[in-house]
Amino acid sequence: MTGGTDHDVVVCGAGVAGLSAACALGRLGHRVLVLEKRPVPQPVAKGEVLQPGSLAVLREWGVADRLEAAGALRLEHLVARAADGTPRMLLDYGRLPTPQPWLLAHDYPTILATLAETLPPSVEVRRGALVEDLLRTGDRVTGVRVDGAELRVPLVVAADGTSSRLRRAAGLTAPRRDYPHRLAAFELDGPDGTVPADFSAYVTDGGLRLRYPLPGGRIRLYVQVAPDELRGLGPDGLRAWADRVLDGCPGLAPLAGAFRAGVDRRQVLPVSRALAPALAVPGLALVGESGHLVHPMAAQGMNSSIADAHTLATVLRQGGSLRPGVLDHALRRYDTARRHDLHHIGRTSHNAARMITDRSWIGDRALTGTGGNARIRHEVMHTMSGLGIRRLTPVDRLHQIGVLPDPRAARLPGWARAASGSGAAAR
Ligand SMILES: Cc1cc2nc3c(=O)[nH]c(=O)nc-3n(C[C@H](O)[C@H](O)[C@H](O)COP(=O)(O)OP(=O)(O)OC[C@H]3O[C@@H](n4cnc5c(N)ncnc54)[C@H](O)[C@@H]3O)c2cc1C
């Protein structure tokens, strides 16, 4: 069966990347069909923290306000802490030059449901629809095969996640580099008022412990583990393991009871990084984890997916049509703009992950050096927030690891001085 003049765009996948692309392209007036293989979204512990750059986009779409109405939490600090809880690097998001200078935390299924509720009327979502392959005419992608039927459209958006079938069908490889550890995710019933409402990464001899609050008094805790660390542990073994984690991270003491009670309910997630060599071919764009993957430690993945969708809509609007020549020019611009930013985001996330997870001498020096240098710390925060890439120079890297003293360490970047008034002191 062949068909498909009813839609301008097919989006494959209804994760945050696919729904964001559908929203952004639907708002341009395109008729968008989203195809999602799962009949209902999976309840997974990932993608819960939104950065200010994404919040600006989500506010425009009416999503951020709905998330706040649904109980999303504002977190004003991102802190790297010593095992006992002492701050080693504090990123004060309140200093960012944006109307929403905070991180926003909610469950991934709620973020997806909220995006789905705000889709424009020109978007249709079909669940339980497996996209099997791309259709081509010469070098051009001209549609998809879904459940045995052929759908022809000017533009296909691959938002089918890290193992993307469509990326492979387009001949694009994105070799994954695995980190040597995994993250065990726990959802705890938090003790009231005893845990600061921030995004805190503890650097311990056992690696990363990451915690932040979720709505309803819950706490998300990630514990870095070796691939087989939890395999085969029964209830007693798990409790003993939880005690070792708590002993090695006294800063988590307020969560001890909740952690012991919730230690048998966990998801263990592999962590990797990747960036496809191209994010578009004629007729096809990759968005989200089909094109790129970062360590979750710096809360960038979902935010990059939203930025992909926003950038794709911007270049398509400027092109003004989905005719092949115009579309291909827009897709080349999308590819160039996003790969540039994603390269930096990947590097920032990787450096942040190494500082905290690999417990190397250099990582430790870099954390201390960044924490003690107000100028570099602010530039790192600006890049992480999604408000714009602030490059660090090779000399800055030497300042970070303490090899070269930085005479400008206390001098805030221009944007931070402007945001907080001329008399701003470094903190
Ligand atoms: C532990 C962890 C914590 C994280 N925390 C954060 C965070 O705090 N902040 C942040 O910004 N990011 C975070 N991330 C990253 C973030 O979760 C991902 O970047 C984001 O979810 C990627 O969204 P996506 O839409 O690209 O992929 P997915 O969410 O994987 O969605 C892909 C969708 O495509 C569907 N699909 C796949 N194949 C097909 C097919 N052939 N046909 C039809 N449908 C198909 C799938 O069913 C799925 O629904 C975290 C990741 C992990 C692992």
Task: Tell me the pLDDT tens digit for each residue of 286-306.
Answer: 999 999 999 999 999 999 999
Instruction: Give the per-residue pLDDT at 1.
Output: 39
Instruction: Give the per-residue pLDDT at 344.
Output: 92
Instruction: Give the per-residue pLDDT at 2.
Output: 43
How many C-beta atoms surround the C-beta of residue 186 within 10 A? Answer: 21
Instruction: Give the per-residue pLDDT at 424.
Output: 41
Domain boundaries, given as residue ranges, for the chain: 2-71+106-174+276-349, 179-268, 360-420
Q: 179-268: same fold as 2-71+106-174+276-349? A: no
Give the Å distance between the CA of 417 and the centre of ligand 1: 37
Instruction: Give the per-residue pLDDT at 421.
Output: 58
Q: Is the pLDDT of residue 427 over 60?
A: no
**Cα Rg, the chain, nearest whole Å:** 22
Q: Is the pLDDT of residue 206 over 60?
A: yes
Task: Tell me the pLDDT tens digit for each residue of 238-277.
Answer: 999 999 999 999 999 999 999 999 999 999 999 999 999 9
Task: Tell me the pLDDT tens digit for each residue of 22-66.
Answer: 999 999 999 999 999 999 988 888 999 999 999 999 999 999 999
Q: Which atom of ligand 1 is nearest to the CA of 288?
A: 26
Average pLDDT over residues 321-331: 96
- When pLDDT is cut at 50, 70 and 90, the band that residue 164 belongs to is very high
CATH topology of domain 179-268: D-Amino Acid Oxidase; Chain A, domain 2 (3.30.9)
Work out the percent of the chain whose per-residue pLDDT is above 90: 86
CATH topology of domain 2-71+106-174+276-349: FAD/NAD(P)-binding domain (3.50.50)
Between 126-135, 184-193, 399-408, 415-424, the lowest mean confidence (pLDDT) is in 415-424
From the CB of 219, is ligand 1 less than 6 Å away? Answer: no
Place of tokens 């003790």: 191
- Residue type (1 letter), 418: A
Report helix, strand or coil for 297: helix
From the CB of 331, is ligand 1 less than 6 Å away? Answer: no
Work out the percent of the chain whose per-residue pLDDT is above 70: 96
Whether 139 contacts 282, CB under 8 Å: yes
How many C-beta atoms surround the C-beta of residue 24 within 10 A? Answer: 27
**Is the overall model pTM greater than 0.75, yes or no?**
yes
Instruction: Give the per-residue pLDDT at 419.
Output: 72
What is the torsional sign of CA 152, 167, 268, 88? negative
Complete edge-to-edge strand list for the sheet that includes strand 73-75: 49-50, 103-105, 73-75
Burial of 334 (0-12, 13-18, 19+ CB in 10 A): buried
Q: Is the pLDDT of residue 425 over 70?
A: no
Angle ∠(105,379,397) on CA atoms, nearest 5? 120
Report helix, strand or coil for 299: coil
Average pLDDT over residues 330-336: 98
From the CB of 302, is ligand 1 less than 6 Å away? Answer: yes
Q: Which two tokens stand for residue 305?
A: 């997916």
Alpha carbon separation from 190 to 44, 335, 423 (Å, rounded): 19, 43, 39
Give the Å distance between the CA of 68 and the centre of ligand 1: 22
Which residue lies with its CA nearest to atom 52 of ligand 1? 46
Look at 362 and 308; give whichever has higher pLDDT: 308
From the CB of 13, is ligand 1 less than 6 Å away? Answer: yes
Mean pLDDT of all residues in the chain? 93
* Mutate-to-test residue for ligand 1 from 10, 11, 16, highest number of ligand atoms within 8 A of CB: 16
Q: Is the pLDDT of residue 148 over 80?
A: yes
Report helix, strand or coil for 112: helix
Instruction: Give the per-residue pLDDT at 354.
Output: 87
CA distance 80 to 85: 9
